[in-house]
Amino acid sequence: DAGVIQSPRHEVTEMGQEVTLRCKPISGHDYLFWYRQTMMRGLELLIYFNNNVPIDDSGMPEDRFSAKMPNASFSTLKIQPSEPRDSAVYFCASRLGGAGNTEAFFGQGTRLTVV
């Protein structure tokens, strides 16, 4: 398996533009997570899905952020409109099963810069 795949790896956009980040989880994993990492706040959980259904989106900072998972092999995180304070590394992770000590596997991240 190729692991969790995220695209793009880097994104530079102007304030006010729409940004869409993409994630392909590991095949067979039923949990998918979106995290944001900054120096100040560390790794923050934004939202997670179980079997394509959003379970907890309490970490989504504002209504400008939205996430979807139309099928088991694809998820998007959208920011509209983007702002400079959204600049961060966004990670997608997937995991098999809900309980126990199962490992979460991370993608390589999307480094977003909003200017």
Binding residues for other proteins (CB under 8 A)? 31, 33, 35, 41-43, 45, 48, 50, 55-56, 91, 93, 95, 98-101, 103-104, 106-109
Q: What's the min distance (Å) between Cβ of 16 and other proteins?
A: 28
Nearer to other proteins (CB atom), residue 10 or residue 14: 10
Terminal CA-CA length for the chain: 36
Buried b (16+ CB within 10 A) or exposed e, 23-50: bbbbeebebbbbbbeeeeeeeeebbbbe
Distance in angstroms (rounded) separating the CA atoms of residues 48 and 10:
22
Nearer to other proteins (CB atom), residue 81 or residue 106: 106
Q: What are phi and psi of 86, to 5 degrees?
A: -85, -5
Q: What's the min distance (Å) between Cβ of 81 and other proteins?
A: 26
Nearer to other proteins (CB atom), residue 15 or residue 55: 55
Q: What's the min distance (Å) between Cβ of 71 and other proteins?
A: 20
Nearer to other proteins (CB atom), residue 51 or residue 80: 51
Distance in angstroms (rounded) separating the CA atoms of residues 36 and 112:
10
